[in-house]
């Protein structure tokens, strides 16, 4: 595993130490790794959303009404 040194303002350092002190994380590295995983997940979700929006835009104008779309949404939730 590689090592990385990061400089933080005092307030951020205290925040990280508080998070570790809460017992949710075993050490600062564990906390930072979790933040990176969350950021990666968020970026993946953004990319999926952008791809879906582009696909929708390319599909053209729908002939369905807003009520039709909502009915399908409600039916698929069940």
Split into its structural domains, the chain has a count of 1
36 in a structural domain:
yes
Return the SS3 of 25: coil
User: Which tops the pLDDT comparison, 55 or 77?
Assistant: 55
pLDDT band at 71 (very low <50, low <70, confident <90, very high): very high
This prediction's pTM? 0.74
Q: How many residues does the chain have?
A: 78
H or E stretch including 69? helix 66-77
68 in a structural domain:
yes
Residue 42 has pLDDT above 80, yes or no: yes
29 in a structural domain:
yes
d(CA 11, CA 24) in angstroms, rounded, equals: 19
d(CA 2, CA 11) in angstroms, rounded, equals: 26
29: domain range?
A: 11-77
When pLDDT is averaged across residues 32-60 and rounded to a whole number, the result is: 97
H or E stretch including 37? helix 28-58
């Amino acid at each position: 595993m590689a090592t990385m040194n990061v400089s933080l303002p005092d307030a951020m350092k205290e925040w990280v130490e508080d998070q570790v002190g809460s017992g949710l994380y075993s050490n600062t590295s564990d906390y930072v790794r979790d933040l990176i995983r969350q950021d990666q997940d968020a970026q993946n979700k953004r990319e999926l959303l952008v791809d879906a929006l582009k696909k929708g835009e390319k599909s053209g104008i729908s002939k369905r009404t807003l009520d039709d779309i909502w009915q399908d949404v409600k039916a698929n939730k069940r």
